[in-house]
Structure 1
Amino acid sequence: MRQTVALLLLGVLASGCPAAPPPPPPPPPEEEPFPPPGERERIDAAVAPVLEGAWVSGLVVGLADSRGPRVYAYGTLDGDSVVELGSVTEVFTGLLLADAVERGLVALDDPVCKHLPPEVSFPEEITLRHLATHTAGMPRRPDNFAPADLGNPYADYTVAKLQEYLGRFRPQTPPGETFAVSNLGIAVLAQVLAPDYEATLRERILDPLGMHHTGVAVEGLAQGHDGDLVAVGPWDFGAFVGAGGLRSTANDLLAFLGASLGRIETSIGSALAAARTPLTDRMALGWQRMEDGRTLWRTGQTGGCRSFLALDPDAGLGVVVLSDTSSDVVDQVGLVALGRQEAVELRPTVELSTYLLDLWVGRYRLERGLYLEVKREGDHLVLISPDEPPARLYAASAVDFYVRVSDLQITFRDDALVLHRPNGDQTARRARR
């Protein structure tokens, strides 16, 4: 009985005690600062010496991450300026291939000849994968590439000329074995996927991504400049349109990067994911891979513009840099924005007397009977190549020179000059006068 009363008493006491208050809700997550602290200062510091040294006329930097897109504009450009993309076009040709695979129109390992007109012969062992990954054994350009105007070198290269070349082409190396950048291979890939390149790209890629200021024919193209800041005309790409013919804006490319990072809903999300999937140690579809293995990037250049596009899926970061000047220093600005480089490193320039400059004037013989010519124009030297526009040489020392339009450097010797490129050196012997 006592036990029953005690239990009842405990129940009464318990029912009379107020319940413990629920824990307070967690504080809302702090919003990420926009833009990130110090980002503007870091980009400004990278761009300042480039503008002060007159390396470019204008530059625009765009970044996209979880905070959203933002643009930093300098000089003559802004986020809506239309600029030639050059080889960055290949990223979109690669995406067009990924989309065609998703639609069941082609397979990566289809022989290229399966999709060419029946009257065009082509080695059966070369596949679409080989073209897309620059492993088809094709040269950078065909041997019937002979531009009438070096200031617009691709304009007169027609589909008929391309098909004539393909009919007698044989791989320089076994397909699938050797990586060698080939604008020609990407041009062939684009012709296979989309004979009407711009219309197909707009329907399948550009419109779904809302890229309404991107295409082959876009109004309001920014005035381009060569590496010496001299105004030059735009390039027309003829049969090479899929390897370099697109024009775009930083804002459009930020939309593309946002979709590639999965931050923008799109009907082509699976194709975007497939395009960034590595296929070789050097390539995804249209994208080249950096040495870290995770970052994808591509650069492009025309006679008057330079472009840089990069995507780091692990960090959730995309970067675009566009310039209305054909200078490879743009790539360094992109690497700083991407966090891969601390600062822009500009090559030194010294002034030489006309006597020292005249020591190197002359003709220099390359392999295959081709010649380079070095001339003096006033206070500087000019390099004239068989199939490139003339390029001013800037002196870093009495014997070392460089050009601003690419990563080419030159060392002069008594009887020769040496061309230094990232893929190796090449010597040209001085021809007897």
Structure 2
Amino acid sequence: MHDEPRTDAERRALAAFTAAEPPPDFADRVLAAVAAEGQREPGHVPLGRLFGLGWPRLAGVAAAGVVAVAVAAVAAASAGWMPAWTGLSRHVPEVMPAEPARDDAPVTAALPPGPPTPALALPADLADRVDAYVGAFGRNYGDAFKFHGVVGVVKDGELVLTRGYGRADIERDSPIDADTKFKIGSLTQTFTAVAVLQLRDRGLVDLDAPVRKYIPDYPALGNRITVRHLLTHTSGIPSYTDAAVFAVGHTRAVAAADVRAIFQDIELEFAPGTDFDLSNSGYFMLGLLVEQVARQPFADYLRENVLAPAGMKNSGVGLAATALGHEFDENEVLVPAAQRHPSAYGAAAGMVSTAADLARWDRALRTPGLVLAQKSLDEMTTVVRDEYGMGWFVRTDATGPIAWHPGGVEGYNATIARFLGDGVTVFVLANTEAVDTRAIAYDVAQIAHGGDVAPPREYDEIRLSSAQLGRYVGTFALTETSHKQLKGLVEDGELLAIEQVRVFRTGDRLWMNVPEHGDKWMHFMGDDRFFFKDPSATIAEFGPPGAPVAHLTLQSGELRFILKKKE
């Protein structure tokens, strides 16, 4: 376990994403690598995100009834995408074969050749190794925790591997291939950034001009916020998708004014330019800025000026996805996830794309002059603050810089990682929330670079009778000592969410309830310990051994929460 708090980069990159969390060994690898680099710095941990109480996603809201006590670390927030293996995961059951791949056909965009890249020989057994790794998901936890989606590997602008797994619609036999359309959430922001930089390069937008120059009806604080602040997530505007009032878009299209009303009149989180925090609000505003300057809808500008030159015919804002988004309910069964209208997300997270098109997107970004000049392409992947440039998170390892981004909306999550130094790109699109694409992208990148990866950890469950489960029932409150210890690590407002939990039994199941966040099924693993069947690192342990239960310990990565049973 780790005693230090997360770095700001880890904390904010974690906040960028989506539903489920990476496997525990993955988190430990990342934290160990960062510790080795000596880059830890103090900061508050957003408890609601770490504990899954808000199911962290840059564009999305809490999934009802799913309260995973989870801790995660984002792959590219480590010291490179391929840190030394720590060997922390020792639970390695037999690897089950993956479902047959749906599409192996290469994809070629009608683009000029990209710049030369260093030679890198991909493993000859790349497909077999990816199949074995992906096929291990759900081997113990069941169908809901299998991977449904597509994995792609690009080398020097060509899609050399695309593997479809599972089904586009769980209720139907609908295969997934390179042309299956997925919602990609905040990966949209990589496209929005290009659109804004195009307008800057044409002399139509000044990045250092105040927002009100282009959106005159924005409140007066828009005179303090520049376009550059919006692009780099340094504006201080709170992200509207985190707001309790983000309840728009479920039944109909949403007017931009209704979305703006959620955030434009509330206090800034910090003075513009002084800090960094991911903000969907900022990128939603950038879409409106493009509309004002280009005098056409953002979706049209994007299609004509960014997607068409890149050869991306099956991508865009407002398109219908052909892969149906799913979440797992309290019974751990995949069910269709309630969807918002794309107008609720706009330029922040409203896009749909395919594996084939993301390969074309990568090639376009490696071809100067196609969608942006080389100077602007370099500017996007130059870190401004907290390992973020413009539209991309950026890390550097032995291969060179790595530009990456996660994304997710209800029922979907996605990750892309572009190794700028050796021509390799890995992307993963999923139409469930049960498996975190960050972990898969990280491990597939390891495989593509010749590394070894362990299968995801899935604990074995031990059955207990209803009478035995009754031993653990009760209400538990955070101890005063734990509260003091966590106060420096966890944001005050979010610590309230775990002040008290209730453990109850229904038939032969034990459940944990966190107020206002629903119930989570607890699975017994022996020695008074329980795990949760989402990909979390949390273990719930009751004690003392062999005596009436007096306390509950929730161990989640480096965080330990001790709760005392109430009389």
The two structures have a TM-score, normalised by structure 1, of: 0.75
Q: 1:337 aligns with which of 407, 425, 444?
A: 444
Q: 2:416 aligns with which of 309, 314, 319?
A: 309
Number of residue pairs matched by the alignment: 395
1:279 aligned to 2:384? yes
Aligned twin of 1:73: 164
Amino acid at match of 1:235: R
Change (3 A) 1:159 1:344: farther
Amino acid at match of 1:276: T
Q: Give RMSD over aligned pairs.
A: 4.0
- In the TM superposition, what whole-angstrom CA distance separates every residue of 1:69-97 from its partner, at most 9, and x where no partner exists? 12122222211111111121222122222
1:266 is displaced (CA, Å) by 2.6
1:159 is displaced (CA, Å) by 2.7
Matches within 5 A, 1:410-425: 411=540, 420=556
Q: 1:225 aligns with which of 301, 304, 326?
A: 326
Are 2:365 and 2:377, in contact at CA under 8 Å, matched by a contact in 1? yes
Report the Cα distance in structure 1 between the residues aligned to 2:306 and 2:454, rounded to whole angstroms: 34
Aligned twin of 1:190: 287
Change (3 A) 1:316 1:360: farther
Give 3-state SS (helix, strand or coil) of 1:122's partner. Answer: helix
Change (3 A) 1:428 1:122: farther
Change (3 A) 1:81 1:357: farther
Are 1:364 and 1:371, in contact at CA under 8 Å, matched by a contact in 2? no
Are 2:240 and 2:263, in contact at CA under 8 Å, matched by a contact in 1? no
Report the Cα distance in structure 1 between the residues aligned to 2:262 and 2:495, rounded to whole angstroms: 21
Aligned twin of 1:160: 257
1:56 aligned to 2:146? yes
Are 2:186 and 2:407, in contact at CA under 8 Å, matched by a contact in 1? yes
Q: 2:234 aligns with which of 135, 138, 143?
A: 135
1:110 aligned to 2:209? yes
Amino acid at match of 2:301: T
Give 3-state SS (helix, strand or coil) of 2:132's partner. Answer: helix
1:430 is displaced (CA, Å) by 8.6
Amino acid at match of 2:265: R
1:146 aligned to 2:238? no
Unpaired segments ≥5 residues, structure 2: 1-118, 168-175, 479-491, 543-549
Change (3 A) 1:267 1:330: closer
Aligned twin of 1:23: none
Are 2:316 and 2:351, in contact at CA under 8 Å, matched by a contact in 1? yes
Aligned twin of 2:277: 180
Change (3 A) 1:380 1:193: farther
Are 1:98 and 1:285, in contact at CA under 8 Å, matched by a contact in 2? no
Are 2:194 and 2:372, in contact at CA under 8 Å, matched by a contact in 1? no
Give 3-state SS (helix, strand or coil) of 1:50's partner. Answer: coil
Amino acid at match of 2:315: T
Report the Cα distance in structure 2 between the residues aligned to 1:383 and 1:158, rounded to whole angstroms: 36
Aligned twin of 2:200: 101
Report the Cα distance in structure 2 between the residues aligned to 1:303 and 1:120, rounded to whole angstroms: 30
- In the TM superposition, what whole-angstrom CA distance separates every residue of 1:24-49 from its partner, at most 9, and x where no partner exists? xxxxxxxx999751211221222120
198-207 or 349-358, larger mean C-alpha shift: 349-358
Report the Cα distance in structure 1 between the residues aligned to 2:203 and 2:266, rounded to whole angstroms: 28
Aligned twin of 1:13: none
Change (3 A) 1:246 1:343: same
Percent of residue pairs identical: 23
Give 3-state SS (helix, strand or coil) of 1:62's partner. Answer: strand
Are 2:135 and 2:146, in contact at CA under 8 Å, matched by a contact in 1? no
1:256 is displaced (CA, Å) by 0.4
1:191 is displaced (CA, Å) by 2.8
Change (3 A) 1:119 1:67: closer
Amino acid at match of 1:75: G
Matches within 5 A, 1:4-403: 36-50=123-137, 52-53=139-140, 54=143, 55-66=145-156, 68-70=158-160, 71-76=162-167, 77-118=176-217, 120-141=219-240, 145-148=244-247, 158-194=255-291, 196-219=297-320, 221-227=322-328, 228-233=332-337, 234-262=339-367, 266-270=370-374, 271-290=376-395, 292=397, 294-339=401-446, 342-349=452-459, 350-351=461-462, 353=464, 356=469, 359=472, 367=493, 379=509, 381=511, 386=516, 398=528, 401-402=531-532
Give 3-state SS (helix, strand or coil) of 1:290's partner. Answer: strand
Report the Cα distance in structure 2 between the residues aligned to 1:426 and 1:121, rounded to whole angstroms: 44
Higher relative contact order (Cα pairs below 8 Å, separated by 6+ residues) = 2
Larger Rg belongs to: 1
Give 3-state SS (helix, strand or coil) of 1:177's partner. Answer: coil
Change (3 A) 1:290 1:407: farther
Unpaired segments ≥5 residues, structure 1: 1-31
1:178 is displaced (CA, Å) by 2.3
